[in-house]
């Protein structure tokens, strides 16, 4: 049967039951890929380098000649791998999937694998433009205008948990920290899986943004610094967040302190001390020493009280709200959160606070 070719818009909007095969090298896939794709490399990392160098320094024809034995050795294994993937899919969904195939630019690698799978009898679609076209689509998502509402609040306000509660009610929510696998502070990596690469974070973010836009309503997002751990929110999208209305939860200090003690107190002393020492330059030598001493003694609450006061001051300085944690006017310039509505909450109760703000 003929191999169908879809462009990136057709692929993104596809409602077909499919599996997606990325035939780039393992290193390319590991760096970043289309979410949900399976790695089915035509060449390993070394083979890709050999073929690529031959293509550039000699000719397309010589590169093909060198590539043929690499491909030939893998043909049976590739077919059997796809058979297993399709069989597993059919068991779950009770329908045979279409097989989407792509490489970097929709060139020879995906064409070769598409030919093989089509020859064997799979229904195959090749992605025109390949992963490069997908990356262009990703970047375009951040340049489009999105209707956003921003959930703000000092450290320990349970913002992420409140967003999860809003999402559970069926509302549109973008979980930046979940996508970044980091909670944003010096302690943000504790208990988290390894962060994705910057490129993979952008892929995940664009997919999530696209899915939430389908709900046709305002999207809730958490107020974050542009950097979340080792990844950055794309600049154009970050500007949209900062120019949207921020609904700032004001929750008493003691309630927030109790919340973060429960959240982070389960980690071992060495991890907590290391995270504290990473902010020593900004926290100050004396406060760092006092906080570390409390942590070493097992007095988590007093140690975190020092840290929470630091994070409150840091938030005031760089988020630039109209008022600080004491309700005092913040007169600093270049306000990054020009549109703020203050929401007073009694405590850190995500379900209650979600109901408090969800319909604002």
Q: Which residues are catalytic?
A: 103
Contacts with 315 (C-beta within 8 Å, 6 or more apart), sequence order = 154, 155, 321, 325
CB 230 within 8 Å of CB 195: yes
Query: What would you report as the CA-atom Rg of the chain, rounded to the nearest whole angstrom?
Result: 25
DSSP string, 277-302: HTTHHHH-HHHHHHHHHHHHTT-HHH
For CA atoms 79, 85, 89, 92, give the dihedral sign: positive
Across 175-319, where does the E strand assignment appear? 219-222, 227-228, 231-232, 246-250
Specify the residue for token string 């490489």: 103
- Report CA-CA distances (Å) from 184 to 147, 199, 204, 230, 358: 23, 18, 17, 9, 23
DSSP assignment of 156-184 equals: TS-HHHHHHHHHHTT--EE-HHHHHTS-S
- CA–CA distance, 81 with 100 (Å, rounded to integer): 14
Pair type for strands 227-228 and 98-102: unpaired
In terms of Cα–Cα distance, which of 161, 155, 208 is closest to 35?
208
The Cα–Cα gap between 219 and 151 comes to 11
């Amino acid at each position: 049967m003929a191999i169908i070719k879809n462009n990136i818009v057709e692929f993104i909007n596809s409602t077909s039951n499919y599996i997606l095969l990325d035939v780039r090298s393992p290193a390319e896939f590991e760096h970043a890929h289309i979410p949900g794709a399976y790695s089915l490399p035509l060449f390993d990392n070394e083979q890709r380098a050999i073929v690529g160098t031959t293509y550039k320094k000699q000719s397309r024809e010589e590169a093909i000649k060198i590539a043929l034995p690499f491909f030939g050795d893998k043909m049976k294994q590739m077919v059997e791998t796809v058979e297993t993937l399709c069989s597993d899919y059919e068991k779950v969904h009770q329908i045979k999937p279409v097989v989407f195939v792509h490489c970097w630019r929709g060139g020879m690698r995906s064409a070769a694998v598409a030919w093989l799978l089509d020859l064997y009898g799979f229904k195959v679609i090749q992605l025109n433009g390949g992963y490069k076209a997908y990356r262009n689509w990703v970047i375009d998502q951040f340049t489009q205008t999105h209707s956003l509402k921003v959930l703000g609040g000092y450290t320990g306000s349970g913002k992420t948990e409140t967003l999860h509660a809003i999402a559970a009610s069926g509302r549109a929510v973008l979980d930046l920290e979940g996508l970044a696998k980091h909670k944003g502070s010096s302690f943000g990596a504790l208990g988290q899986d390894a962060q994705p690469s910057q490129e993979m974070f952008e892929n995940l973010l664009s997919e999530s943004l696209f899915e939430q836009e389908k709900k046709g309503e305002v999207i809730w997002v958490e107020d974050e610094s542009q950097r979340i751990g080792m990844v950055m929110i794309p600049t154009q999208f970050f500007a949209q967040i900062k120019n949207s209305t921020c609904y700032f939860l004001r929750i008493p200090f003691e309630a927030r302190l109790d919340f973060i003690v429960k959240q982070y107190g389960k980690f071992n002393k060495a991890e907590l001390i290391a995270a504290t020492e990473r902010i020593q330059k900004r926290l100050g030598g004396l406060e760092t020493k006092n906080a570390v001493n409390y942590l070493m003694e097992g007095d988590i609450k007093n140690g975190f009280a020092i840290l929470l006061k630091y994070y409150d001051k840091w938030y005031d300085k760089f988020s630039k709200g109209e008022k600080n944690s004491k309700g005092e006017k913040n007169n600093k310039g270049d306000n990054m959160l020009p549109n703020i509505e203050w929401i007073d909450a009694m405590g850190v109760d995500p379900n209650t606070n979600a109901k408090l703000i969800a319909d604002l």
